[in-house]
Amino acid sequence: MPGDVISERFLIECKLRDSSGKKQITIEKAWLEKIKQQALSLNRVPLLIFKYKNDKANYIILNLKDFLNLILKEGFKNE
């Protein structure tokens, strides 16, 4: 099964930094390439979401081209 979450628009891969002492994560190029290929085959936008253990915030990695396409399609509201 591709990705961890499939929505109408996105294919999402989720990663958790499981070492509680360090606040860093290594983003592997293979993760990005894999989710990109899987998303392409499903006509979805690939996203990589990650968070640090014991942290409430989630972070997204999105290809700049995909980000710009989303903004152009949806418009951008500066709130």
pLDDT digits (tens, 9 = 90+) for 4-37: 899 999 999 998 877 665 678 888 999 999 999 9
What confidence category does residue 79 fall into, taking pLDDT thresholds of 50, 70 and 90?
A: very low
- Tell me what the pLDDT averaged over the chain comes to: 86
Q: Is the pLDDT of residue 44 over 90?
A: yes
* Alpha carbons 6 and 46: distance in angstroms, whole number: 10
- The pTM of this model reads 0.79
Query: Cα 78 vs. chain centroid, distance in angstroms?
Result: 22
Question: Alpha-carbon torsion 62, 68, 73, 74, what sign?
Answer: positive
For residues 38, 23, 54, 4, the Cα torsion angle rounded to the nearest 10 degrees is 0
